[in-house]
């Protein structure tokens, strides 16, 4: 319990350090001829990290040939090419820049029928097991404490599944979807148990808007009310925050 390492640093430094850690792990695996399974979050927070990974690829020859990219979540009911899908977002902000074909990434298709989603979720968990699990999972924090789209109330034992998005999560997405009516109501997300099985968890939270949820993540009892508190149960988890997110500065 409470093994979470908290690192206070400006966002650009966090991006550089985490990218360097990921690069080291990718290279170590590649030397053994093994794949590295990298878990990706979407959203504003990891943009600096992905830009730095793309720079390492471009300027320092970091190869992603042995990287399998796995996403945390995806909206439901979106056209596969819709730029607002997490699939398109991940291509635009990382995969295309580092030469990982989207076919080599494990991302829920955004246009599946509900019944097919259930089968996809089961197959996804099996695929992860076959890959040997996620080596490092990047996470952001929702302002209600969600990780992935595990909204408040999500059980410690939850697995990859279809979920209903919380009102505040949909509200936070209105700009992207041209108003609340356009925001998808459901999504597929890795479960809490799925996320906690990753060997390393690296969560990022920057800016004043994350101050309240960072404090609650660190101080409130571990449990489904604030899913991000489950990070404190993981043996190799780190939360990188800047001074404003920590309530300083």
Q: Which residues bind ligand F6R (CB under 6 A)?
A: 41-45, 72-73, 86, 140-142, 146-149
Annotated active-site residue 146? The verdict is: yes
What order do you get walking across the sheet with 186-189 strand by strand? 73-75, 186-189, 161-164
Task: Find where tokens 């404003």 sit.
Answer: 244
Annotated active-site residue 2? The verdict is: no
> Is 56 or 145 the residue whose CB approaches ligand F6R more closely?
145
CB 169 within 8 A of CB 142: yes
Minimum Å gap between C-beta 41 and ligand F6R is: 4
The catalytic residue among 146, 150, 234, 242 is: 146
Residues 6+ apart with CB under 8 A from 230: 147, 156, 192, 195, 196, 222, 223
The catalytic residue among 144, 150, 234, 242 is: 144
The catalytic residue among 52, 76, 135, 151 is: 151
> Is 30 or 173 the residue whose CB approaches ligand F6R more closely?
173
Annotated active-site residue 73? The verdict is: yes
- Quote the CA–CA distance of 30 and 13 in Å, as a whole number: 26
- Give the distance from CA 147 to its chain's centroid: 7
> Is 135 or 145 the residue whose CB approaches ligand F6R more closely?
145
Minimum Å gap between C-beta 32 and ligand F6R is: 29
Minimum Å gap between C-beta 33 and ligand F6R is: 30
123 token code pair: 């197959």
Annotated active-site residue 144? The verdict is: yes
Q: Which bin fits 105, alpha (ψ -120 to 50), beta or left (φ > 0)?
A: beta
What are the CA-CA distances from residue 177 to residues 171, 180, 182 (Å)? 10, 7, 5
> Is 145 or 222 the residue whose CB approaches ligand F6R more closely?
145
Minimum Å gap between C-beta 97 and ligand F6R is: 18
The catalytic residue among 73, 76, 117, 135 is: 73
Q: Which residues are marked as active site? A: 73, 144, 146, 151
């Amino acid at each position: 319990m409470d093994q979470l390492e908290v690192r206070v640093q400006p966002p650009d430094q966090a991006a550089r350090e985490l990218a360097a850690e990921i690069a080291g792990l990718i290279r170590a695996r590649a030397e053994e001829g093994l794949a590295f399974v990298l878990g990706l979050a979407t959203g504003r927070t990891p943009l600096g990290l992905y830009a730095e990974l793309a720079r390492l690829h471009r300027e320092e020859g970091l190869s992603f040939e042995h990287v399998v990219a796995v996403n945390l979540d995806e909206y439901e009911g979106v056209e596969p090419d819709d730029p607002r899908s997490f699939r398109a977002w991940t291509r635009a902000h990382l995969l295309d820049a580092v030469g990982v074909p989207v076919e080599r990434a494990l991302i829920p298709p955004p246009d599946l029928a509900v019944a097919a989603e259930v089968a996809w979720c089961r197959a996804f968990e099996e695929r992860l097991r076959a890959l040997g699990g996620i080596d490092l999972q990047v996470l952001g924090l929702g302002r209600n404490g969600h990780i992935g789209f595990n909204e408040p109330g999500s059980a410690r034992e939850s697995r990859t599944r279809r979920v209903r998005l919380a009102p505040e999560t949909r509200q936070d997405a209105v700009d992207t979807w041209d108003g609340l009516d356009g925001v998808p109501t459901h999504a597929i997300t890795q479960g809490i148990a799925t996320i906690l099985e990753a060997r390393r968890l690296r969560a990022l939270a920057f800016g004043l808007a994350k101050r309240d949820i960072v404090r609650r993540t660190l101080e409130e009892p571990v449990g489904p009310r604030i899913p991000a508190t489950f990070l404190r149960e993981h043996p190799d988890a780190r939360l990188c925050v800047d001074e404003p997110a920590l309530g300083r500065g």
